Amino acid sequence: MGVKAFLEATKTPGTVVLYGCPGEEGGAAKAFMARDGLWYGLDAALTWHPNDANEVLTGSSNSCIQTQYHFTGVAAHAAGDPDRGRSALDAVELMNVGVQFLREHMSDKARIHYAITDAGGRSPNVVQPRASVLYMVRSNHVAEAVELQKRVDKIAEGAALMTETTFEKKFIDGLADTVTNHALERVLYQNFQELGVPSHTTEELAYADQLSATYPGNDRLPGVGSQYDLDYAEQARALRTKAGHAMNDFLLPLYQGDAFEPGSTDVGDVSWQCPTAQIHVATWPNGCPGHSWQNVSCGRTDIGHKAALHAGKVLAAAAMDLLTQPALLEEAKAEFQRRTVAGYTCPIPADAVPVVAD
């Protein structure tokens, strides 16, 4: 809205689009939007995510594909008629064993997780006629994840063959890895520096300090760069010490070295279709674990609201620079072209619709 007002007031030509992006945690909305090509027309995309520090984010993330396998067998008395039963639970177990052997023969960065979502019932004396397993296949590059997924599908086929059961595959969602853009990161950093960081009242700081006493790791060093660069880690330590409380009320230095996040985000799919960059704004105390109740406890506080508003300011100010300084955008686009030569492989099939796992 700020950028729109700026464009109108200064009569600057340009278009700003605010995308509603539901289901960011597990729904992969931006990836479904990417499947339908919604990001290709943009000169640049800017976004933010809550975190424990104020920083410009960099680096790649894992691609991830979620698929649920529903096996169907034949129920029978496990003692009286075992020859007439076909166990769907056996199929799930054999599939898991097969995937276990696959793990030795995949890339180091790949990860395969599973959860048995239906074990077929509570009666050992009934051959289980149904069983389901939900798989997450992660690999650093989306094209690799798609290939790895095909190998997991073959194992499901093998398990069905061995147990004389059948299975149906339900595609849940898919996310690409993230393509970094250093040029955009620099524009975000400059604006973050100029605008500073949200400040907190004594009351808010006391709340954050109390919260930080409830989880291990509250002395962890903030910032993605701290995991990769010793000098950077020392700078982060000095800033933490100076802050003297649990909220990181400072901007971390710009880090543009190698970085990799084993988790996954649907920002990845956007980053394959247009130059994309992200910031973190301190929304909870230092070291607060992701997806924890302590995260949630900051969401509707003034700490959370300040972070959201401040993120909007930094993103808007950076967008204004991009709209008024074409050279910045050209640099970002040139870098985007270099980094996306391989092209976007969409992990989402053409006919898939967003669903929730059973």
Binding stretches for Zn ion (CB under 5 A): 25
Considering the complex, what minimum distance in angstroms separates the CB of residue 331 from Zn ion? 28
Residue 25 vs 203, nearer CB to Zn ion: 25
What distance in Å separates the CA atoms of residue 35 and residue 349, rounded to the nearest whole number?
8
Residue 25 vs 108, nearer CB to Zn ion: 25
Token representation of residue 201: 């009242």
Residue 103 vs 113, nearer CB to Zn ion: 113
Considering the complex, what minimum distance in angstroms separates the CB of residue 233 from Zn ion? 24
Considering the complex, what minimum distance in angstroms separates the CB of residue 21 from Zn ion? 10
Determine the straight-line distance between the first and last CA of the chain, rounded to whole angstroms: 39
Residue 29 vs 183, nearer CB to Zn ion: 29
Which residues, including other chains, have CB under 8 Å from residue 299's CB and lie 6 or more apart?
A: 283
Residue 8 vs 25, nearer CB to Zn ion: 25
Residue 123 vs 292, nearer CB to Zn ion: 292
What distance in Å separates the CA atoms of residue 335 and residue 330, rounded to the nearest whole number?
9
Residues 94/86, Cβ–Cβ less than 8 Å = no
What distance in Å separates the CA atoms of residue 169 and residue 167, rounded to the nearest whole number?
7
Residue 263 vs 349, nearer CB to Zn ion: 263
Buried b / exposed e over 71-97, threshold 16 CB at 10 Å, is bbbebbeeeeeeeebbbbbbbbbbbbe
Q: What are the two backbone dihedrals, phi and then psi, of residue 44, each rounded to the nearest 5 degrees?
A: -165, 155
**Element (DSSP H or E) covering residue 138:** strand 130-139
Considering the complex, what minimum distance in angstroms separates the CB of residue 49 from Zn ion? 6
Cα-only R_g, the chain: 24
Considering the complex, what minimum distance in angstroms separates the CB of residue 264 from Zn ion? 10
Token representation of residue 138: 């992660």
Considering the complex, what minimum distance in angstroms separates the CB of residue 256 from Zn ion? 23
What distance in Å separates the CA atoms of residue 127 and residue 196, rounded to the nearest whole number?
64
Considering the complex, what minimum distance in angstroms separates the CB of residue 25 from Zn ion? 5
Residue 30 vs 86, nearer CB to Zn ion: 30
Render 229-298 in DSSP notation, one character per residue: -HHHHHHHHHHHHHH-SSS--SBPPP--S--EESS--THHHHHTTS-EEEEEEE-S-TTPPTTSHHHHHH
Residue 165 vs 271, nearer CB to Zn ion: 271
Amino acid at 345: T
Considering the complex, what minimum distance in angstroms separates the CB of residue 266 from Zn ion? 9
Residue with tokens 């105390």: 285
Q: Which residue from 41, 306, 341, 337 is spatially nearest to 196, judged by alpha carbons?
A: 306
Considering the complex, what minimum distance in angstroms separates the CB of residue 197 from Zn ion? 20
Q: Which residue from 32, 66, 67 is spatially nearest to 169, judged by alpha carbons?
A: 67
